[in-house]
């Protein structure tokens, strides 16, 4: 128990818990893991409509974890898991020119749309996936389409007039509505029934920024290898979804990680969380998975602790365990 307690020194108070296996890493998972499954992040000319209600506010699961801080005990996990995430609306990944009889056009750019924008509605209908919006644009006959757009905290309408080119009506928008990849479960809180993972948000690899979650789920994953980290390449865990079954529900994706519930509570003994002010330089254990054998403890060293509170960059870790250095070269993405 004392070894594990030392291993979770890097946990920060409240929602500022930091994945032990990730350490200082706060990169965008999707931009570097290279584990986008077929159809997981299609770049098509648009998206689909959904009449369902908006997703639950992402602040709620984080608040559930935060509310229990003070006398908090969690079960350290360190196990690999798959992530399937669907965005709230679709993300404009990029814009492209369209060759028409009247020259080169890009209606989306002409309407003021930018990569990174979220398209939430089209002509008052909610957008969920790529295929239906592509169909809607295709049968528009060139009729202007009014989009409800979110750009950061701003929300506005933009009217795009599709043009005919290359055999179909198009808008010049390439969008993404989902993402998939591999991450590491950090801890499970028995009091709230919540888990936390990654230690950083899932970001869009083209547009940048944390992806707005509409729905998602953790899923069983099978690790099948490691791409070792090098000075000019961060490396990554490689894996595939072990089945179509879900392990639970994702409720939040923000800069400190992903949060959600599990259908079955994980085994293991709870251990107390160390407050931020008690974290200091010295030897620690990293609890993480790099193969099918599951979580194991590895040696590391906390070299420095941030003086200022930062959500995702709390400390600097140096991996010292020769087993981990031989297998991964250090801390790779997805760990």
Instruction: Please report the pLDDT score of residue 283 as a whole number.
Output: 94
In a domain, 302, yes or no: yes
**pLDDT tens for the 335 residues of the chain, in order:** 333 333 333 333 332 222 222 322 222 222 222 232 322 322 233 323 333 333 344 445 455 444 444 468 899 999 999 888 777 778 888 898 989 888 899 999 999 999 888 888 889 888 877 777 888 888 888 899 999 998 877 889 999 999 998 888 989 988 887 778 888 999 999 888 899 988 787 776 666 677 777 778 888 888 888 888 888 888 888 888 877 888 888 888 888 888 999 988 888 888 888 888 888 899 999 999 988 888 999 999 999 888 666 777 788 889 999 999 998 888 888 87
Max intra-chain CA distance, the chain: 72
Which of 246, 324, 326 has the alpha carbon at shortest distance from 288? 324
In a domain, 300, yes or no: yes
Which of 298, 41, 91 has the alpha carbon at shortest distance from 211? 91
Instruction: Please report the pLDDT score of residue 148 as a whole number.
Output: 92
Bridge partners, 169 (sequence order): 164
Nearest-angstrom CA–CA distance, 148 and 124 = 8
Instruction: Please report the pLDDT score of residue 111 as a whole number.
Output: 93
Instruction: Please report the pLDDT score of residue 129 as a whole number.
Output: 78
* 142 SS3 class: coil
In a domain, 313, yes or no: yes
Instruction: Please report the pLDDT score of residue 207 as a whole number.
Output: 60
Domain that residue 169 falls in: 89-175
Give Cβ neighbours of residue 306 (< 8 Å, ≥ 6 apart). Answer: 313, 314, 315
Of the three residues 108, 140, 175, the one that is the final residue of a domain is 175
Nearest-10 Cα torsion for 29, 198, 58, 268: 150
Q: Are 16 and 314 in contact (CB under 8 A)?
A: yes
My answer on whether 223 and 318 are in the same domain is: yes
My answer on whether 220 and 73 are in the same domain is: yes
Token digits of residue 83:
């992530």
Nearest-angstrom CA–CA distance, 152 and 254 = 13
Q: Are 89 and 81 in contact (CB under 8 A)?
A: no
My answer on whether 190 and 219 are in the same domain is: yes
Q: Are 236 and 33 in contact (CB under 8 A)?
A: yes
My answer on whether 159 and 259 are in the same domain is: no
Instruction: Please report the pLDDT score of residue 224 as a whole number.
Output: 86
Q: Report DSSP state, residue 210.
A: B
My answer on whether 250 and 132 are in the same domain is: no
Of the three residues 117, 148, 175, the one that is the final residue of a domain is 175
Q: Are 149 and 117 in contact (CB under 8 A)?
A: yes
Q: pTM of the full predicted structure?
A: 0.66
My answer on whether 107 and 254 are in the same domain is: no
Give the chain's domain count: 2
Cβ neighbours of 289 (radius 10 Å) = 24
Place of tokens 């490689």: 238
Bridge partners, 223 (sequence order): 239
* Torsion region of 150: left, alpha or beta (phi above 0 gives left; psi -120 to 50 gives alpha): beta
Instruction: Please report the pLDDT score of residue 187 as a whole number.
Output: 92
Q: Are 309 and 264 in contact (CB under 8 A)?
A: no
My answer on whether 19 and 57 are in the same domain is: yes
CATH number for the domain spanning 150: value is 2.30.42.10
């Amino acid at each position: 128990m004392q070894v594990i307690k030392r291993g979770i020194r890097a946990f920060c108070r409240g929602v500022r818990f930091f994945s032990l296996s990730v350490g200082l890493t706060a990169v965008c998972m999707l931009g570097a893991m290279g584990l986008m499954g077929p159809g997981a992040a299609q770049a098509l000319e648009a998206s689909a409509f959904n009449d369902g209600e908006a997703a639950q506010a992402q602040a709620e699961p984080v608040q559930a974890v935060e509310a229990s801080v003070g006398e908090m005990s969690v079960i350290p996990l360190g196990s690999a898991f798959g992530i399937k995430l669907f965005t709230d609306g679709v993300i404009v990944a990029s814009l492209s020119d369209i060759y028409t009889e009247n020259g080169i056009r890009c209606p989306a750019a002409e309407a003021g749309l930018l990569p990174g924008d979220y398209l939430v509605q089209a002509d008052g209908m909610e957008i969920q996936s790529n295929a239906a919006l592509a169909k809607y644009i295709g049968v528009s006959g060139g009729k202007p389409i009014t989009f409800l757009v979110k750009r950061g905290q701003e929300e506005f309408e933009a009217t795009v007039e599709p043009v005919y080119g290359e055999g179909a009506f198009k808008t010049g928008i390439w969008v993404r509505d989902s993402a998939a990849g591999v991450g590491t479960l950090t801890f499970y809180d028995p009091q709230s029934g919540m888990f936390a993972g990654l230690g950083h948000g899932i970001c869009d690899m083209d547009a940048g920024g944390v992806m707005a979650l509409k729905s998602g789920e953790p899923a069983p994953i099978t690790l099948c290898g490691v791409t070792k980290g090098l000075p000019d390449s961060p490396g990554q865990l490689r894996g595939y979804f072990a089945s179509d079954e879900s392990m639970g529900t994702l409720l939040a994706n923000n800069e400190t990680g992903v949060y959600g519930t599990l259908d079955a509570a994980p085994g293991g003994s709870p251990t107390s969380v160390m407050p931020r002010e008690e974290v200091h330089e010295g030897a620690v254990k990293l609890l993480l998975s790099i193969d099918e054998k599951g979580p194991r403890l590895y040696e590391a060293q906390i070299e420095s602790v941030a003086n200022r509170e930062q959500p995702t960059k709390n400390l600097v870790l140096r991996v010292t365990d020769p087993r981990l250095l031989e297998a991964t070269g250090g801390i790779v993405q997805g760990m």
